[in-house]
């Protein structure tokens, strides 16, 4: 059954996030806290932070996005590197997306980070590489926008907000996760770069 890895990731993330809300000590043990990694060698935090969320909206947004695009990417990667390969892609994206943040704040005891956004961005941007004209819906707006336009706006917004700061969202992880997702996919199928450009000049938005 295609999509079972994605559904399993969603189920585990929902369960762990819920347990972390109920048990603050668990959340404190799983969250990305750089000094605990740098001084106490708790390297598992580089992964576990991706399975906990700040609140219900944070969790729902990430899991809806993962559900919407993860099944397509699971099918794509499963055909090339097996379902386990897709799972490893997702887990590695959690780690890779957060590494620049960890290096920047590794000596800052006041910094915390949590959420699956980096890995979800990797899945989302990998899907955009496969189908740049795929329609993406934003919040409650009933009209979809082409995926490649969304990607450009997303990158611009993330860079702007990362420089501005102040909203307690790790925009850097979004950017690095998206880049990792595209690079990982191109390593599996380098000719996708040419296919992506050809699809851009051959619009299929709206079923055309």
Q: What is the pLDDT of residue 166?
A: 54
What does the alpha-carbon distance between residue 118 and residue 49 come to, in Å, rounded to a whole number?
11
Rounded to the nearest 5 degrees, what angle is found at the Cα of 95, between the Cα atoms of 35 and 197? 140
Are 76 and 28 within 8 A, CB to CB?
no
pLDDT above 70: percentage of residues in the chain:
91
**Span 78-96, mean pLDDT?**
96
Top-confidence residue, 29 or 135: 29
Q: What is the pLDDT of residue 73?
A: 95
Reported as a single tens digit per residue, the pLDDT across 21-51 is 999 999 999 999 999 998 899 999 999 999 9
Are 107 and 35 within 8 A, CB to CB?
yes
**Span 169-174, mean pLDDT?**
79
Query: Can you say whether residue 79 is alpha, beta or left, with left for phi > 0 and alpha for psi between -120 and 50 degrees?
Result: alpha
**What end-to-end distance do the CA atoms of the chain give, in Å?**
29
Whole-number CA gyration radius for the chain: 17
What does the alpha-carbon distance between residue 69 and residue 147 come to, in Å, rounded to a whole number?
11
What does the alpha-carbon distance between residue 48 and residue 55 come to, in Å, rounded to a whole number?
16
**Span 69-82, mean pLDDT?**
94
Domains in the chain, CATH or no CATH each: 4-200 (1.20.1540.10)
- The per-residue DSSP string of 104-149 comes to HHTT-TT--B--SHHHHHHHHHHHHHH-TT-EE--TT-SS-EEHHH
């Amino acid at each position: 059954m295609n999509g079972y890895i994605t559904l399993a990731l969603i189920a585990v993330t929902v369960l762990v996030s819920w347990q972390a809300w109920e048990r603050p000590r668990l959340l404190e043990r799983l969250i990305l806290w750089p000094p605990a990694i740098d001084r106490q060698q708790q390297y598992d935090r580089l992964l576990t932070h991706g399975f906990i969320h700040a609140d219900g909206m944070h969790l729902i947004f990430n899991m809806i996005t993962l559900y919407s695009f993860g099944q397509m990417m699971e099918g794509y990667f499963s055909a090339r590197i097996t379902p386990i390969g897709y799972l490893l892609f997702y887990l590695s994206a959690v780690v890779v997306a957060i590494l620049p943040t960890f290096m920047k704040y590794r000596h800052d005891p006041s910094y915390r980070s949590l959420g699956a956004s980096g890995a979800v961005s990797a899945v989302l941007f990998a899907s955009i590489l496969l189908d740049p004209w795929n329609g993406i819906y934003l919040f409650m707006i009933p009209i979809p926008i082409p995926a490649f336009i969304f990607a450009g706006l997303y990158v611009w917004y993330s860079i702007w907000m990362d420089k501005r700061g102040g909203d307690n969202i790790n925009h850097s992880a979004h950017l690095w996760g998206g880049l990792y997702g595209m690079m990982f996919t191109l390593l599996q199928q380098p000719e996708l770069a040419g296919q992506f450009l050809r699809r851009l000049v051959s619009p299929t938005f709206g079923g055309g």
